[in-house]
């Protein structure tokens, strides 16, 4: 009983802190909700799980409606070294993540797969969304997990996310279950995935804060950081007729391509972009400043690419102060 009371008080303190952060005021993260929930869920049971759901919607009273979807822009800047949120705006609103979804697909691939494994495609990957980016891979091609992994993150190829999902779990449906389970384990309590790539679905959503939790876990893997920091890549694979194909691609991160300048004093470690007509333009990044402090920054729902990078640049400039 004593443990349950302590859990309740601790969560209340965290909720109050996070509410102040959503108004744009800096606050200290007094505890990691992901680890806190993992350590205390057995003692607190469903009470703590319910509070976790409440925590994810404290920024807007309308968000208590399970069908609520915010159309608002959101951003979040966290000084990970100081364990401090520098700026947040609508950080708990449910929004569409587009291809930032692929960070979770990458994480599960790293946790359950082997980069040296070979995959032979048993079928073509058919995607119905107009304009969806895909690779040149087709049925019968043989390619390594590493090649598909890089193409998914660098080119943001949607078919590659499906290929990895089937490789890891045996089917896309089973992989989606893994995605949602892993999100809950990380404390991403206001996230729901229905596909491994982020192509639009009204029931596929997350928050800026949840994306931070997932991304922070992914960057623990050197392979992930190396990949998202690459400005280009060439995927090499073999067709069913034993012909070797090389597919060259460039990163979708315009900072890496120098199409938008990185603010002076900021070291860019890369991240993941996302764009659909409903999600608009999205980006999550890991950077460091000259002091060596590590930052995570998220922008969701920007109207245009120019607006996205202008907003993100303003966040990055705050890391050099």
- Residues 126-160 have pLDDT tens digits of 998 888 999 999 999 999 999 999 999 999 999 99
- Residues 50-79 have pLDDT tens digits of 333 333 333 333 333 444 444 469 999 999
Q: Find tokens 């960057």 and name the residue.
A: 219
Listed in sequence order, the residues at least 6 apart from 173 whose beta carbon sits closer than 8 Å to its beta carbon are none
- CA 65 to centroid of chain Cα atoms: 24
pTM: 0.81
| pLDDT for the residue 49 | 41
| pLDDT for the residue 321 | 80
| pLDDT for the residue 181 | 98
List the chain pLDDT tens, one digit each, 321 residues: 443 433 433 344 344 334 434 433 333 333 334 444 444 444 434 333 433 333 333 333 333 344 444 446 999 999 999 999 999 999 999 999 999 999 999 999 999 999 999 999 999 999 988 889 999 999 999 999 999 999 999 999 999 999 999 999 999 999 999 999 999 999 999 999 999 999 999 999 999 999 999 999 999 999 999 999 999 999 999 999 999 999 999 999 999 999 999 999 999 999 999 999 999 999 999 999 999 999 999 999 999 999 999 999 999 999 998
| pLDDT for the residue 1 | 44
């Amino acid at each position: 009983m004593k443990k349950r009371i302590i859990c309740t008080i601790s969560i209340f303190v965290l909720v109050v802190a996070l509410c102040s952060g959503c108004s744009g005021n800096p606050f200290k993260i007094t505890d990691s909700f992901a680890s806190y929930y993992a350590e205390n869920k057995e003692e607190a049971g469903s009470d703590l799980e319910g509070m976790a759901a409440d925590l994810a919607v404290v920024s807007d009273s309308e968000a208590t409606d399970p069908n609520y979807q915010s159309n608002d822009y959101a951003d979040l800047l966290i000084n990970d070294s100081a364990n401090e949120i520098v700026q947040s705006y609508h950080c708990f609103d449910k929004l569409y993540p587009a291809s930032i979804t692929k960070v979770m697909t990458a994480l599960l691939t790293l946790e359950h797969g082997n980069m040296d494994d070979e995959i032979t495609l048993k079928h073509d990957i058919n995607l119905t969304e107009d304009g969806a980016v895909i690779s040149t891979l087709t049925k019968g091609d043989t390619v390594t997990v590493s090649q598909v992994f890089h193409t998914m993150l660098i080119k943001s190829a949607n078919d590659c996310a499906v290929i990895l999902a089937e490789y890891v779990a045996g089917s896309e449906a089973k992989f989606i279950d893994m995605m949602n389970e892993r999100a809950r384990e990380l404390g991403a309590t206001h996230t729901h995935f229905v596909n491994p790539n982020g192509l639009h679905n009204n029931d596929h959503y997350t928050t800026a804060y949840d994306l931070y939790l997932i991304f922070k876990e992914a960057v623990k893997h050197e392979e992930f950081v190396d990949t998202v920091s690459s400005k280009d890549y060439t995927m090499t694979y073999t067709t069913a007729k034993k012909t070797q194909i090389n597919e060259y691609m460039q990163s979708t991160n315009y900072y890496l391509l120098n199409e938008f300048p990185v603010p002076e004093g900021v070291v860019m470690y890369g991240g993941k972009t996302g764009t659909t007509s409903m999600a608009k333009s999205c980006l999550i990044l890991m950077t460091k400043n000259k002091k060596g402090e590590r930052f995570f920054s998220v922008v969701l729902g920007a109207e245009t690419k120019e607006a996205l990078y202008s907003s993100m640049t303003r966040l990055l400039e705050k890391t050099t102060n």
